[in-house]
Amino acid sequence: MNALFGTERIRFFRRLAFLCLIFCAGLSGPLSGSLSGEEYARAGKPLFSDLLPYTQACGCVLCESDFLLEDDQRLQKDLIELQEDLDAYLNVPLPEETVILCLFSSWKSYNDFLKKKYPEAPRDRPALYIKDNGPGVLMVIKDEQMYLNVRHEMTHAILNASLRNVPIWLDEGLAKYFETPRGKRGYENPFLGQVKKGVNSWFMKVPSLARLEKLQWINQMGIREYRESWGWIHFMIHHSEETQRLLAGYLMELRPEKQRGISPDQAAELQKGTPLTEILKEHFPNYKQEYIDHFKAWDNRSAEPKRSFDYLSIFRSK
């Protein structure tokens, strides 16, 4: 699998084990053995101890940094809530593999790290997610945007560790949605005002989901694409329980067990054969008008998404 570069990028007992491991004592040491998933985080085996001497385990996330993390309760809270909410809102499970979170105190230490470990990665972004054949690695600079960037990039990490072939618009749209803290995601993203303005304009233009589904590369995602992707995610999560269940069902089809026995390329072709646009149209024939009505009626008092529900089964021709 090729490395993925992003920009701003079970149930009860698994969650119980996750909570019991939150911010264990810092450990360090050379990487050894063939551990994976939560066992890897339990062992506290860092990948980059030569450059990042401070290590703390947080469930299936292993934090490595060049500064002492101490008891960063805000970071802990964000990591817990993000993983819980992806599971509760959309049935995205905790990843089986470790996610590495690298935190840097300055641009210099960040760039020095990239030169040595990922020389081909872009160096002008304050947050970066890389997923190759091993664990996903998140790299974030410590600044006023650190927590937002961690939430955004951790969303990428969980999606790409738990699912296969996540479409680029969906990957980025979910990351933009979940970069906002719990309780504020529905109304504090800066895209909301722009989207509401669009549906309240004389043209009442609905962004084309079909156009977004044709995008394949991160460099095809501009401000417009991020805004439109976020808008569709907001609509499907918040509009109704049925739209939320449909999105969860679509994500269910991207789980590895649903694609067992076929290659990533074959799985991608199956997705093209039944795009989300067609599934949405089948279940909600008037979905474009519902999109307009959703944002016209939306205000800050709207309820949070439903938690712990059954996803809507999506049947595809194999």
Buried-state track 135-165, b at ≥16 Cβ within 10 A, e below 16: bbbbbbbbeeebbbbbbbbbbbbbbbbbbbb
Predicted pLDDT of residue 80: 85
Q: Of 278, 277, 258, which Cα lies nearest the Cα of 267?
A: 258
| Percent of the chain residues past pLDDT 90, beyond the cut | 40
Q: What does the longest C-alpha to C-alpha distance in the chain come to?
A: 62
CB 44 within 8 A of CB 57: yes
pLDDT of 311 over the 70 cut: no
- Residue-wise pLDDT for 6-48, tens only, equals 433 323 223 323 333 332 223 222 222 334 434 444 444 788 9
Q: What is the rounded average pLDDT for all residues in the chain?
A: 79
Burial of 218 from C-beta contacts in 10 A (0-12 / 13-18 / 19+)? middle
- Residue-wise pLDDT for 129-157, tens only, equals 887 777 789 999 999 999 999 999 999 98
**More confident position, 24 or 304:** 304
